[in-house]
């Protein structure tokens, strides 16, 4: 999952079409989100909980009575960024001593009370399974001045009954499960998000139908490892098939998968339904069996490649992406070259690439972080450069071909251009032609670089 900085929310009024009746000054909430898509989906849940309790969601930090920061712990950098942001937020608190500042999400779960004792500016700390307590902890803080902390992880919480408040748009996230039981040795997620649990199939299907009715066109089902989704006797393939049938006007994708659990049934399900995107994100992390074993990834390169072969033979036009970590403990130059080799062999359309960052509590925390910073950076650069070349090569192969593109809006670089996405998750730029966000347009690709396809709409007869 990629790390995106900061998401802001439009006021509730413009989301619901009605004024938030109970809202009053002093009940304005501003949420800033860091980290993976799951966090962005969680912020929508938090907004849902708070909206229901009479809070008015604002995108203007200067206007807010409550600032929540939804945080990420996956790498040290992600935490450092939030700690830096907290020093900026101190200024707001100086101006308005009544301002409530809360840290929620993975950092809250990991650092717990320390956030309150070491960072004077923090009033509330809530872990990912405690968001229902937000309104009562805020009330208590306002009534008694008592700072609030809630960091219990749950085995059952899925927020299935909470209606997320989303920004209007074309794409939506839909969380189908929470937590992770994989315990990869480098990863802090099982400690910050707790045990794996799935939402009931009906809840997910009802929500996706609603998203279609609301005008969304592209929905990503989210979970730390969607392939271990379970609802009674239904597995993830069953869920996907149900969603595909229930919301035929939506493009449906999902992230993220673990190679150990990706079944043939899933690949065949994707092949069977036109509205299931032919796009699979399958993190490989490393191309060396020795390193994969130390990472506790529970598969070998051979097994991973056999899944890739099945995917490519059943879904010949599939787009593939992955996650790669450079410089994991004991990684040698030879291991690193094996990672470059697997990238060349698979030819991913895209990749999220990271330097290994030791995280407390994980198994790898006990190992020596023995690849020096310079080597980690150099290896990461080699990985990034190779991926850029491969993405460019793959994108160039699309030139001359036709794709259905769902238009998302006006291009950021020019108001004479529109941008949209293909089923394979590639961004496409075309000249403005009267198409509106949400429209499906057939596009012939005329040129491409490593990040973007450029093309022209094909007139419909």
Nearer to ligand 5AD, 227 or 398 (CB): 227
Closest contact distance (angstroms) between CB of 251 and ligand 5AD is 23
**Bridge partners for 409 per DSSP:** 419
Among 43, 70, 198, 225, contact with ligand SF4 (rule: CB under 6 A):
225
Selection from ligand 5AD, ligand SF4, none that 180 binds (CB < 5 to 8 A by kind) is ligand SF4
Residue 360, classified by CB atoms within 10 Å of its CB into exposed (0-12), middle (13-18) or buried (19+), is exposed
Smallest distance from the beta carbon of 285 to ligand 5AD, in angstroms? 6
Q: How far is the CB of 179 from ligand SF4 (least distance, A)?
A: 9
- Dihedral pair phi/psi, residue 38, rounded to 5°: -60, -40
Which residues within the stretch 82-101 sit at the binding site for ligand SF4 (CB under 6 A)?
Answer: none
Burial (Cβ within 10 Å: 0-12, 13-18, ≥19) of residue 15 = middle
Pairing mode of beta strands 100-105, 66-71: parallel
Of 224, 228, 286, 425, the residue at the interface with ligand SF4 (CB under 6 A) is 224
Encode 32-58: b = buried (16+ Cβ within 10 Å), e = exposed.
bbbbbbbbbbbbbbbbbbbbeeebbbb
Which CB, 323 or 382, lies closer to ligand 5AD?
Answer: 323
CB of 297 to ligand 5AD, least distance (A): 10
Main-chain dihedrals φ then ψ at residue 328, nearest 5 degrees: -65, 160
Q: Which is nearer to ligand 5AD, 287 or 455 (CB)?
A: 287
Phi, psi of 457 (to 5 degrees): -65, 140
> Do 19 and 57 meet the contact criterion of CB atoms below 8 Å apart?
no
Among 27, 28, 75, 379, binds ligand 5AD (CB under 6 A): 75
> Does the protein bind ligand SF4 through residue 190 (CB under 6 A)?
yes
**Least distance to ligand 5AD, CB of residue 406, Å:** 26
What letter would DSSP give residue 18? Answer: S
Q: Residue 182 interacts with ligand SF4 (CB under 6 A)?
A: yes
Q: Which of 89, 111, 149, 184 contacts ligand SF4 by CB under 6 A?
A: 184
Compare residues 181 and 317 and give the one whose CB is closer to ligand SF4. 181
Nearer to ligand 5AD, 353 or 453 (CB): 353
Residues 6+ apart with CB under 8 A from 439: 406, 407
Q: Choose between 196 and 207: whose C-beta lies nearer to ligand SF4.
A: 196
How far is the first Cα of the chain from the last one, in angstroms, to the nearest whole number? 40
CB of residue 404 vs ligand 5AD: minimum separation in angstroms? 29
Q: Of the ranges 157-165, 206-214, 355-363, 396-404, which one interacts with ligand 5AD (CB under 6 A)?
A: 355-363
204 in Cβ contact with 239 (< 8 Å): yes
Task: Report in angstroms how near the CB of residue 54 gets to ligand 5AD at its nearest.
Answer: 36
For 270, residues 6+ apart whose C-beta sits below 8 A from its C-beta are 240, 276, 277, 278, 280, 314, 315
**In the complex with ligand SF4, which residue's Cβ is closer, 199 or 258?**
258
| 285 near ligand 5AD, rule: CB under 6 A | yes
Selection from ligand 5AD, ligand SF4, none that 9 binds (CB < 5 to 8 A by kind) is none
Strand partners, 104: 70, 126
CA-closest candidate to residue 130, choices 103, 96, 92, 90: 103
* Nearest distance in Å: CB 448, ligand 5AD: 26
Sole binder of ligand 5AD in the list 48, 164, 179, 283 (CB under 6 A): 283
The CA–CA distances, whole Å, from 371 to 117, 243, 380 equal 34, 44, 12
With tokens 């900026």, the residue in question is 88
Strand 100-105 versus strand 319-326 pairing type = unpaired
**Whose Cβ is closer to ligand SF4: residue 58's or residue 322's?**
322
The answer to whether residues 40 and 71 touch, using CB atoms and an 8 Å cutoff, is: no
For residue 404, give the H/E element and its range.
strand 402-410
Please report, as residue ranges, which positions from 253 to 272 form the binding site for ligand SF4 (by CB under 6 A): 258
Q: Which stretch binds ligand SF4 (CB under 6 A): 11-19, 76-84, 139-147, 177-185?
A: 177-185
Q: Which of residues 141-200 bind ligand 5AD (CB under 6 A)?
A: 186-187
Q: If binding is defined by CB under 6 A, does position 128 make contact with ligand SF4?
A: no
> Nearest to ligand 5AD by Cβ — which residue?
323
CA dihedral 129, 165, 84, 375 (to 10 degrees): 80
For ligand 5AD, which residue of 160, 323, 382, 456 counts as binding (CB under 6 A)? 323
Paired sense of beta strands 197-198 and 177-178, if any:
antiparallel
What is the contact surface with ligand SF4 in residues (CB under 6 A)? 180, 182-184, 187, 189-190, 224-225, 258
List residues near ligand 5AD by CB under 6 A.
1, 74-75, 186-187, 283, 285, 323, 325, 354, 356-357, 359
């Amino acid at each position: 999952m990629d790390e995106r900085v900061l998401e802001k929310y439009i006021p509730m009024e413009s989301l619901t079409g009605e004024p938030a009746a109970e809202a009053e000054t002093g009940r304005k909430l501003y949420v800033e989100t860091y980290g993976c898509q799951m966090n962005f989906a969680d912020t929508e849940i938090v907004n849902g909980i708070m909206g229901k309790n009479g809070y008015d969601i604002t995108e203007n930090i200067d206007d807010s009575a409550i600032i929540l920061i939804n945080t990420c712990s996956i790498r040290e950098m992600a935490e450092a960024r939030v700690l830096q942001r907290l020093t900026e937020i101190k200024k707001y608190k100086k101006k308005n001593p009544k301002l409530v500042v809360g840290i929620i999400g993975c950092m809250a779960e990991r650092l717990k009370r320390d956030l309150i004792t070491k960072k004077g500016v923090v009033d509330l700390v809530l872990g990912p399974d405690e968001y229902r307590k937000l309104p009562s902890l805020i009330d208590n803080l306002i009534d008694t001045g008592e700072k609030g902390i809630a960091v219990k992880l749950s085995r059952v919480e899925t927020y299935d009954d909470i209606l997320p408040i989303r920004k209007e748009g074309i794409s939506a996230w839909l969380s189908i499960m929470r937590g992770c039981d994989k315990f990869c040795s480098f990863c802090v997620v099982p400690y910050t998000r707790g045990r794996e649990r799935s939402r009931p199939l009906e809840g997910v299907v009802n929500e996706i139908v609603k998203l279609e009715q609301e005008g969304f066109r592209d929905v990503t089902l989210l979970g730390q490892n969607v392939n271990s989704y379970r609802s009674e006797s239904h597995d993830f393939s069953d869920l996907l098939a149900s969603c595909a049938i229930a919301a035929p006007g939506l493009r449906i994708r999902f992230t993220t998968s673990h190679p150990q659990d990706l079944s043939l049934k899933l690949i065949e399900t994707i092949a069977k339904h036109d509205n299931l995107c032919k796009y699979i994100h399958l993190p490989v992390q490393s191309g060396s069996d020795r390193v994969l074993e130390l990472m506790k990834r529970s598969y070998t390169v051979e097994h991973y490649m056999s899944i890739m072969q099945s995917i490519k033979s059943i879904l010949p036009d599939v787009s593939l992406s992955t996650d790669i970590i450079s410089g994991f403990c004991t990684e040698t130059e030879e291991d690193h070259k094996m990672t470059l080799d697997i990238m060349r062999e698979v030819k991913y359309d895209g990749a999220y690439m990271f330097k290994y960052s030791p995280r407390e509590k994980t198994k790898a925390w006990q190992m020596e972080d023995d690849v020096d910073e310079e080597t980690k950076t150099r290896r990461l650069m080699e990985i990034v450069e190779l991926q850029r070349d491969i993405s460019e090569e793959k994108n160039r192969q699309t030139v001359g071909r036709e794709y259905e593109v769902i238009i998302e809006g006006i291009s950021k670089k020019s108001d004479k251009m529109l941008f949209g996405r293909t089923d394979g998750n590639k961004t496409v730029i075309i000249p403005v032609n009267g198409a509106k966000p949400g429209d499906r347009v057939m596009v012939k690709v005329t040129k491409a670089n490593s990040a973007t396809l450029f093309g022209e709409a094909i007139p419909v007869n």
